Amino acid sequence: MSRQDEIRELARVALSTGRVDYFIGWREAYNPSEVVPAFVDEPDSVDQLVWNDLCAHNLTTFLKRKMNDRPNAKVGICVKGCDSRTLVALMQENLVDRERLYVVGVPCDGLVDRRKLEKEFSDEIIDITTSNGTVSVTTHQGLTRDFPKADYLLAACGWCRYKNAVYADDVAGPPAEEADRHAKPVWTDVEAFEALSDGERDAMLEEIFATCIRCFACINVCPVCYCWDQCVNRSRRPELVSQKVDAKGNLVFQMVHMLHVAGRCPSCGACDRACPVEIPLSLLHRKMNKEIYDMFEFEPGAKLDEMPVFQCFKIEDAFGD
Amino acid sequence: MTIKYLAQDQLAAFLAHLAERARVVAPISEDGVVLFRNWEPGRQVDLEVLLAKQAPKEFMFPQTEEYLKFSYRMDTPVVDESAPPAGASDDGQVEAALPHEVIEVQAENAAPAQIIFGLRPCDARGFVQMDQVFGGYGGFYFDPLYNAKREATTLLAVTCRDPRSTCFCTAIGGCPAGHEGVDALFTQVDGGFTVEPLTEKGEAATDFAALRDASEGEAAEAAEVKVQATTRVDVPFEIDGVRDNLKANFEGTSWQDLCLRCISCGTCTYVCPSCYCFSVNDSLVETKGERYRVWDNCFNPTYTLETSGHNPREKKVNRFRNRFSHKFWYYQDKYDSLLCSGCGRCIMHCPTRIDIREVLRVMGAPAGVPEAAGAASNSAELPATDGKEA
Amino acid sequence: MAETAASKARGAAPTSVAAPGSGTPAARAGAPQVDRPVKIIGIVCNWCSYAGADTAGVGRFKQPANVRLLRVPCTGRIDPLFVLKAFEKGADGVLISGCHPGDCHYSEGNYYARRKFELLERMLHYLGIPKERFKWTWVSASEGQRWQQVVTDFVAGVEKLGPREGRAL
Amino acid sequence: MAETMSGAAAGKKRLTAADVVPGASTARAGKLGGNPYLPEICTVREIIQETPNIRTFRLTFDDPEVQKSFSFLPGQVGQFGVFGVGESSFAITSRPSETEYIQFSVMKAGEVTSAIHQLSLGDKAGVRAPMGCGFPVEAWKGKRILYVMGGIGSAALKATIEYTIEHRVDYEGISILYGATAPENFTYQYDIDQWQKRDDIDLTLTIDRECDGWQCDVGLVPHVLERMNPTPENTIAITCGPPIMIKFALMSFKKLGFSDEQTYTTLEKRMKCGIGICGRCNVGPKYVCVDGPVFSLAELRELPDEL
């Protein structure tokens, strides 16, 4: 059975036995190149669920407070390895009720970066299929081109060490082949930026954050950022974060988001993918995670029995003078 | 008016000519991200990508716009010492006077000439829709900030030769070669553009030596391009009756299903050519401050939050419903027109690809038939949640 | 340079040609520095460092007057946002000080705080704020002399760099 | 079809604010060609502590021309704010015939109101007024007017009450039912005293819970209203107060036989621009800032339930 069939079967069983009231997975949107979150609450509708190389959405987002209006419903949810770490981060803070949650882990072999493919065409992409490591892309005008999948992986998949879910009630199919989880993380992308001179880095930050439009997609899509209507970034009095949209204010805005999810953000990349103006947000988050790893050898959301590092302390911590 | 012709290799010269007289804005690709930016000689205009990420509305209606400056003088209490505070009742505890006085309030409203080149007819139509809001039509107030910029702006639109699958301008009365709001329409033909000046402003902007009269063949080719483009735009829903049905379906349970995957961000509104809501804020640093307006959107939880803590649109579904109702019902009641130009940006850029066409198919259909409308959609059927609400 | 960095970040090949003079941020970085006294925000806890500053004042220890103190109940209450905000609004340096570990009035506030500040310090440097412009330390109520030392050294360090102008943050 | 729809509005006459908002022509806020966002600078001349958390501010326009030409209709609102903090909508509570000053009553609740409460005599503030639509007091001539209000809701009706009292001969009767949680929470005590002295005004005061020295009614406003049992005949009922009071008062009116056309209320929403542009204060297709704040119950029934 393919992983897609496994997901459908697990969803069907969970829905028909009443284990869950609704099940969150992925489905195709208006064309097969777009995959969106799907909410299924009838066993008969599970066949809309898909699993393919475009299922990048981190569905944990939909477990956030006030995200849905059915607070007491029992929820089934599909998580990839990276998604499961955000789920575990929420569990570490007791923000989800495990009793009402049914988690299906979906082993993942790396997903395709649709944005990267978009850049190869001026036309609109309407279909993307993958087989044997080759991505086939069809455009609106009918052009079809093939690309090697390895070159068009999501950035987050490139350094992924958690191809299987960290926490799951059931797993859709046999686990994916995984390198050593406990190996030292690779930070080549961050190191490249650290190597920039102050002037270069400054110029770069100003340039990329000047395009931010403060749509709050990054914040609202972030699975571990749950203040929602109480977000400090929206606060006017005190006006902690300037409501003016300019490069400086935008950088503060993003830094606030980043530091508030410090120790809970596993760099799943959801903010990156949601940003309509393609600001490389995960760059900052990755840098932060590098520092956190450096400080505590801690990886956010990796173990259920850990506490996020900024919500606990050790007396013997050796920071400062 | 005569149709003119501009050779592709003369485009840069033409823009340079315009740039001498005004600020020129055009879709420019930076690192593969196409946005409207200031054009300067040497920069490449990107017309291959059909739609820039954002509509060019920020040039008429900047995201942050300071409109009032003020300063306090901190040293001069102006309380008339001789006059007792007559009104203060016995228990009136009027707090100590802050020794300040506004000494200066300035309204700023500069609008240098600008030319937007390379926007699409739907983008221009978005401005026409905003014109009504800011222009005082229908009995509202006249907004001097927007209108000053609007009057100083010339819109040189380019026909959409290859509409996207998400385009639906023809469904709501637009056209890939539409004239609404456009000052001069450029159409890409073999080796260059045909140019149709449509207004005096367009006439003035296209008065340039490199533009010659188009040959009959070129004009015919342009006409053919327009017809071809128009036929290729989908008509994904029937606009007739949408307003009445939105009204009838206001309490419909399908809103709940449609907004399930909405994350309540504001992307759709900020990329939209016609969404215009804004917020007003003050900032004060020491003695100097300004009042500015900044884009806001109905998905912002604090958009309608009242001081008492009451929020008329507390839930995601209320805010979601407001956006579509505003575009196709409230706005129509006020201005007798629609607040959507069919560019499809909200579909393309929504982080969860919420499809306005699907929303209108379901909620814009007569009550009681949304299931049928949903089945006809090209996307997967929506799960029904009837009877399962907590 | 700016183009390359940003395009690398977006993971795409640079497609546009930078117009001459468009690299404003880089150009501004080399702009002549303005001549004004540096502004420094000090965020201190009520129980130790604020009292320590008081002690320094009562003892008439000479110290630079550039520091504007902000009193908070505990260093644990300091959101990293306060520091960012100060820099955004034009502070040239930010100094945080609280009770020595183990001496917190609320027993453990500064244990949490030091983890946060350590991360913040590392990140700030990445945002183009040199190490000399941000310092966090511990000064107890009786350490008037130490407060004088900390402030004098910190202000000297910031003054060496001069006022901040036209930076990303 | 859609073509004609979008084209239709373009042909519409461009109206000035004066065409729409009665009385607005005299205020700079409404002048076409002027800047409707630009507040008039005002000076605080008098501060009255009404209740522990409500103060009334009397202001004069710094520009004597504006002060001279300022006029408004009862029920209209103004944007009153402090530079550096922001502005909010408040009902104008001065008498419509008052030419010396403009008055607002403000309850301390949020950011702007707190800043307003910190104003002292001689301080400057910004005012944009008048805005919105007033009560159709002209059309009500010859009728009995029944005011039902609670707490700070009195501010929204104050100008209208004063107007009808000034034009007492034009109206068949005036009844006022005013409720507050406790005796010290009645606003405009000095005016209430005047009203009580007049025998052509029927005034009923009520507090929520009994307390020492209280002479008037006790009970929640809707209960007292039902006890009063006013006749709906030739009567206009106007209510304003906390949302929960309005809700039950409207139900009581219904019970007493008042039709939707006879019943009026004023709405409150978060507002920013105050001139129907910024978008947030809509209830369905109506903007509270320009189409309101005054609505008859008949008009409200037409609107979606999103209050």
| Residues B340-374: tens digit of each pLDDT | 999 999 999 999 999 999 999 999 888 765 444 33
Domain count across chain A: 2
Q: What is the mean pLDDT of residues B223-250?
A: 91
Domain count across chain B: 2
Q: In this structure, are residues C135 and C118 in contact, taking their beta carbons and an 8 Å threshold? A: no
Residues B257 and B188 in one domain: no
**CA pair distance C53, C67, nearest whole angstrom:** 11
Strand order in the sheet with D40-51: D86-91, D77-82, D124-131, D40-51, D54-61, D102-107
Residues B306 and B365 in one domain: yes
- Residue for token digits 């560019």? B343
Whether the pLDDT of residue B128 is over 90: the answer is yes
Is the CB of residue A57 less than 8 Å away from at least one CB of chain C?
Answer: no
Q: What is the mean pLDDT of residues C87-94?
A: 90
Q: What is the mean pLDDT of residues B17-46?
A: 92
Fold classified for D17-131: Elongation Factor Tu (Ef-tu); domain 3 (2.40.30)
Please give the model's pTM, rounded to 2 decimal places.
0.87
Number of other residues whose CB lies within 10 A of the CB of residue A307: 13
Instruction: Kindly provide the b/e burial profile for residues B333-363, where b requires at least 16 CB atoms within 10 angstroms of the residue's own CB.
Output: ebbbbbbbbbbbbbbbbbbbbbbbbbbbbbb
Last residue of a domain, one of B231, B265, B287: B231
The reply to whether residue B29 touches residue C15, judged by beta carbons under 8 angstroms, is yes
The confidence band for C166, taking pLDDT boundaries of 50, 70 and 90, is low
Domain range holding B20? 4-65+110-231
Chain D residues inside the 8 Å CB shell of A237: 85, 110-111
Residues A193 and A126 in one domain: no
Chain B residues inside the 8 Å CB shell of C39: none
The confidence band for A136, taking pLDDT boundaries of 50, 70 and 90, is very high
Chain B residues inside the 8 Å CB shell of D43: 78
Q: How far is A225 from chain B (nearest CA, A)?
A: 12
Q: Exposed, middle or buried, B29 (CB in 10 Å: 0-12/13-18/19+)?
A: buried
Give the DSSP H/E element, type plus range, for residue A42. none
Is the CB of residue B322 less than 8 Å away from at least one CB of chain A?
Answer: no
Could you tell me which chain A residue has the CA closest to the CA of C107? A315
The reply to whether residue C11 touches residue A155, judged by beta carbons under 8 angstroms, is yes
Residues A193 and A305 in one domain: yes
Which DSSP string do the residues of A142-205 spell out, in sequence order?
S-EEEEEGGGGB-HHHHT----S-SS-SEESSSPPP---TTSPPP-HHHHHHHTS-HHHHHHHH
Average pLDDT, chain A: 91
Name the least confident of A23-32, B96-105, C67-76, D282-291: B96-105
Give phi and psi for A78, each to the nearest 5: -95, 135
Residue numbers in chain D where pLDDT is lower than 70: 1-33
pLDDT above 70 coverage of chain A, percent: 100
Helix axes B121-134, B144-151, angle to 10 degrees: 140
Here the tokens at position B148 are 């000053």
CATH of domain D144-266: 3.40.50.80
Report which of residues C30 and A151 the model is more confident about: A151
Give the DSSP H/E element, type plus range, for residue D31. none
Domain presence at residue A36: no
**CA pair distance A51, A30, nearest whole angstrom:** 16
The confidence band for A199, taking pLDDT boundaries of 50, 70 and 90, is confident
* Predicted local confidence at residue C149, as pLDDT: 94
Residue D217 region by backbone torsions, left for phi larger than 0, else alpha for psi between -120 and 50, else beta? beta
Q: What is the mean pLDDT of residues A290-311?
A: 92
- Residue for token digits 């100060």? C86
| Angle made by CA atoms A210, A213, A219, in degrees to the nearest 5 | 110
Domain range holding A234? 188-310
* Predicted local confidence at residue B369, as pLDDT: 52
Residue B24 region by backbone torsions, left for phi larger than 0, else alpha for psi between -120 and 50, else beta? beta
* Predicted local confidence at residue A284, as pLDDT: 87
**CA pair distance A260, B278, nearest whole angstrom:** 27
Domain presence at residue A92: no
Could you tell me which chain D residue has the CA closest to the CA of A239? D85
* Chains touching A by CB (3 or more pairs below 8 Å): B, C, D
Chain B residues inside the 8 Å CB shell of D45: 87
Is the CB of residue A236 less than 8 Å away from at least one CB of chain D?
Answer: yes
Domain map (residue ranges) of chain C: 37-161
Residues of C at the B interface, defined by Cβ within 8 angstroms: 6-7, 10, 12-17, 19-20, 22, 89
Chains A and C touch (3+ CB pairs under 8 A): yes
- Residue for token digits 């990349």? A269
Q: Exposed, middle or buried, A42 (CB in 10 Å: 0-12/13-18/19+)?
A: middle
Domain presence at residue B334: yes
The confidence band for A178, taking pLDDT boundaries of 50, 70 and 90, is confident
Residues A136 and A242 in one domain: no
pLDDT above 90 coverage of chain A, percent: 65
* Predicted local confidence at residue B1, as pLDDT: 63
Last residue of a domain, one of A152, A177, A207: A152
Q: Exposed, middle or buried, C103 (CB in 10 Å: 0-12/13-18/19+)?
A: middle
Quick one: which of D26, D113, D151 has its CA closest to D76? D26
Quick one: which of B102, B84, B87, B279 has its CA closest to D105? B87
**CA pair distance A6, A106, nearest whole angstrom:** 9
- D95's CB contacts (< 8 A; 6+ apart) are D159, D162, D163, D166
Number of other residues whose CB lies within 10 A of the CB of residue A31: 18
Q: Exposed, middle or buried, B390 (CB in 10 Å: 0-12/13-18/19+)?
A: exposed
The reply to whether residue A200 touches residue C85, judged by beta carbons under 8 angstroms, is no
Chain B residues inside the 8 Å CB shell of D122: 77-80, 97, 101
- Using DSSP's 3-state secondary structure scheme, residue D217 falls into strand
Pairing of strands D235-240, D263-266: parallel
Single-letter residue type at C129: I
Residues 278-337 in B contacting D (C-alpha not used; CB under 8 Å): 278-284, 289, 291, 293, 296, 298, 303-308, 310, 312-313, 318, 322, 325-326, 329-330, 332-337
Chains A and D touch (3+ CB pairs under 8 A): yes
- When CB atoms are compared, the residue of A66, A71, A216 closest to B266 is A216
Q: Exposed, middle or buried, B191 (CB in 10 Å: 0-12/13-18/19+)?
A: exposed
The string of pLDDT tens digits covering residues B51-91 is 999 999 999 999 999 888 888 876 544 444 454 444 443 44
- When CB atoms are compared, the residue of D83, D122, D243 closest to B70 is D83
* Predicted local confidence at residue A205, as pLDDT: 86
Is the CB of residue A320 less than 8 Å away from at least one CB of chain C?
Answer: yes
**CA pair distance A155, A283, nearest whole angstrom:** 10
Domain presence at residue B50: yes
Quick one: which of A251, A212, A123, A55 has its CA closest to B267? A212
Q: How far is B15 from chain D (nearest CA, A)?
A: 31
- When CB atoms are compared, the residue of B264, B292, B381 closest to A220 is B264
| Angle made by CA atoms B107, A211, B152, in degrees to the nearest 5 | 40
- When CB atoms are compared, the residue of C6, C14, C17 closest to B42 is C17
| Angle made by CA atoms D102, D108, D109, in degrees to the nearest 5 | 125
Cis bond upstream, residue A238 (ω within 30):
yes
Is the CB of residue B92 less than 8 Å away from at least one CB of chain C?
Answer: no
Instruction: Decide which of 3.20.20.100, 3.40.50.1220, 3.40.50.960, 3.40.50.2300 is the CATH code for C37-161.
Output: 3.40.50.960
Q: What is the mean pLDDT of residues C156-160?
A: 93
The reply to whether residue A277 touches residue B385, judged by beta carbons under 8 angstroms, is no
Strand partners, B202: none
- Give the end-to-end CA distance of chain B in Å, rounded to a whole number: 63
Q: Which of B65, B141, B147 to mutate to test the interface with D (most CBs of D within 10 A)?
A: B141
ipTM of the complex: 0.87
| Angle made by CA atoms A64, A69, A74, in degrees to the nearest 5 | 75
The reply to whether residue C8 touches residue A295, judged by beta carbons under 8 angstroms, is no
Q: In this structure, are residues B61 and B146 in contact, taking their beta carbons and an 8 Å threshold? A: yes
* Predicted local confidence at residue D5, as pLDDT: 35
Q: How far is B281 from chain D (nearest CA, A)?
A: 6
Could you tell me which chain B residue has the CA closest to the CA of D285? B330
Domain presence at residue B341: yes
